[in-house]
Amino acid sequence: MGVFVTVGWNNVVHRNLQSPPDRPPSERPIHRPARREQTRPGDEATHHQTIHRRCRRRTSRPVLLRQRDRRRIQRRLEASLSPDRDRLGGGAEAGRGARQCQSYRRPAQPDDGRTIVFATGDGNIHVWDVRRLREVAALRGHAQVAWSVALSSDGRRVASGSGDGTARIWTIQPRGAEQQVLTGHEGPVTTLALDRAARVVTGGADGTVRVWQPDGTAVVLSWSEPVVALACSPTADTLAVALRDGAVHLIGTNDDVRLDGEAESLAWSPDGSRLAAGCKDNSVRVWDIHTRSSAGLLRGHADWVSALAWLPSGRYLASGSDDRTVRVWDIEYPGDSTVHSGHQNYVDGLSWAPDEHRLATCSADWTIRVWDLTGTDRPLVLSGHEKRVRAVAWAPDGQRLASGSDDRTVQVWDVDDNQGEVIGVHRDGVTSLAWLPDGRHVVTGSADGTARVWADSVDPDELTTRARTRVFRALTDDERRTHLLPGSGDS
């Protein structure tokens, strides 16, 4: 079936989501001040048009995973990438794609594509079989909220980091057997990764990174600043650690690199030979891990660099910025970049098409743009969302795009005819999304605390059937016409 992934409420990559009151100030998102938030293109005088479309006749069956206690607990989730690094654990986010090795609060998933693991605000860890739609195990033991989770590559163990200052390793059994408790942090465990060797790496608000061995001992690295992000390289021999003061430490190489501006995003190249960081001083910095030297200082943006995406071949790096531009950098010639202008607000997401010729971007101006990098034509502009577009991702066939927005909708676009189709609606903004490998389903994470899997098109007849099970009176002709339902008097 593929990999099921989800992003919860406070996805760090999607900035400006409300920080929960129980979250320590040292752990509040640093990626954008609240004053910078805009939800409309341009100023307040900007007008927009609401677009209604008739749904196409296919099938959509969202899968809703909801806690049994139904309490409104905001999920704080952390995901790990699948071992092959080709499938992204939800951020898909795809829209913010492989450019972010930042701290995501998302579920983790093993390589079988059947199980997701997520943490809830009560400190518990939950394991779900998403095919059978049932809980496999509830892992209880943390005294406070579990901020992050990660899965071993074999899908048999779960590692979790909590605000109680502990990291724990669990075996996935119906009773949730706890295999090991890792203690040592003097504050919340804010970020966590699990490498191919099954070592747990944790970073905390106490300024430490701990690399845990199977026997429970740990190598401790300490700094005076909180840890902002951890990123394991694809080759699993180097760990990148970004601190709040702007320093990036490369564990495994004995090298430290300090940024003039704080890193807002980290991204390893596909082969793991280079590390890129998008910074708050408006630059992108790239290091060659083999030579232990700078591979380029990429300057040109006029505001924070909030998104990064490597071309799968590794030669080009795309960056999106709050200056409303997208740049594509030739890493072999660091001073050379192509600027793509047109967005009227912050660029929030990037996604390379499988053909490596087209780049999709999404923005706070409510639009998606598709740039053909082989020609000089103007970008294709996809309009239809009614609020900020947070995430965008190409389907495996390279012909369709999925997008998620603060308007709560998930849309699939056919780039040949510029048409978008609403395939699902959340109760709150869509923060992230990704295509499943079958190319027929989109998985989304939302600020409403749910994860849903949608078919790539919808069937109006099925929607009518569902509506009839939830309405306890006959609809009037006006209501049927309003909602485009059959059976109105003039149809």
pLDDT tens sequence across 211-252: 777 777 788 888 888 887 777 787 767 788 888 887 788 777
Least confident of 115-129, 265-279, 319-333, 390-404: 115-129
Region of 292 please: left (phi>0), alpha (psi -120 to 50) or beta: left
Q: Is the pTM of this model over 0.85?
A: no
Q: How far apart are CA 483 and CA 106, in angstroms?
A: 34
pLDDT (mean) for 177-205: 64
> Token digits for 251?
């564990």
Query: What's the pLDDT score for residue 324?
Result: 94
pLDDT (mean) for 451-479: 65
Longest dimension (CA), the chain: 76
pLDDT (mean) for 151-169: 75
| Segments making up each domain of the chain, as ranges | 342-490
Q: Is the pLDDT of residue 256 over 80?
A: no
Q: Is the pLDDT of residue 168 over 90?
A: no
Query: What's the pLDDT score for residue 444?
Result: 66
Least confident of 34-48, 296-310, 397-411: 34-48
H or E element that contains 467: helix 460-470
SS3 content of the chain, % helix, strand, coil (to 5): 5, 40, 55
pLDDT (mean) for 71-78: 32
Which 3-state string (H, E, C) describes 264-289?
EEEEECCCCCEEEEEECCCCEEEEEC
Does the domain formed by 342-490 have CATH 2.130.10.10?
yes
Partnered with residue 222 across adjacent β-strands are 208
pLDDT (mean) for 197-201: 66
- Which range, 25-34, 209-218, 414-423, 447-456, is most confident? 414-423
Looking at every residue in the chain, the average pLDDT score rounds to 68
Q: How far apart are CA 95 and CA 252, in angstroms?
A: 30
Q: Exposed/middle/buried for 333, CB within 10 Å: 0-12, 13-18, 19+? A: exposed
Q: How far apart are CA 33 and CA 307, in angstroms?
A: 16
Q: Which pLDDT band, with edges at 50, 70 and 90, does 191 fall under? A: low
Are 402 and 409 within 8 A, CB to CB?
no
Q: Which pLDDT band, with edges at 50, 70 and 90, does 458 fall under? A: low
**Centroid of chain to Cα 8:** 9
Are 284 and 330 within 8 A, CB to CB?
no
pLDDT (mean) for 37-55: 31
More confident residue, 49 or 292: 292
More confident residue, 421 or 50: 421
Q: 80-114 pLDDT, tens per residue?
A: 323 333 332 333 333 332 222 222 234 455 455 67
Alpha-carbon distance values, 158 to 121, 230, 405, 455 (Å): 17, 18, 31, 29
Q: Which pLDDT band, with edges at 50, 70 and 90, does 293 fall under? A: confident
Alpha-carbon distance values, 389 to 363, 364, 369, 385 (Å): 5, 6, 11, 7
Q: Is the pLDDT of residue 155 over 60?
A: yes
Strand ranges (DSSP E) for 133-253? 134-139, 146-151, 157-162, 166-171, 178-183, 189-194, 200-204, 208-212, 218-222, 227-232, 239-243, 247-251
Q: Is the pLDDT of residue 276 over 80?
A: yes
Q: Which pLDDT band, with edges at 50, 70 and 90, does 22 fall under? A: very low
Q: 55-69 pLDDT, tens per residue?
A: 333 334 444 444 443
Degrees to nearest 5, angle at CA 401 with 399 and 402: 150
> Which amino acid, residue 475?
L
Query: What's the pLDDT score for residue 308?
Result: 82
Percent above pLDDT 90 for the chain: 12
pLDDT (mean) for 341-366: 91
Q: Is the pLDDT of residue 195 over 60?
A: yes
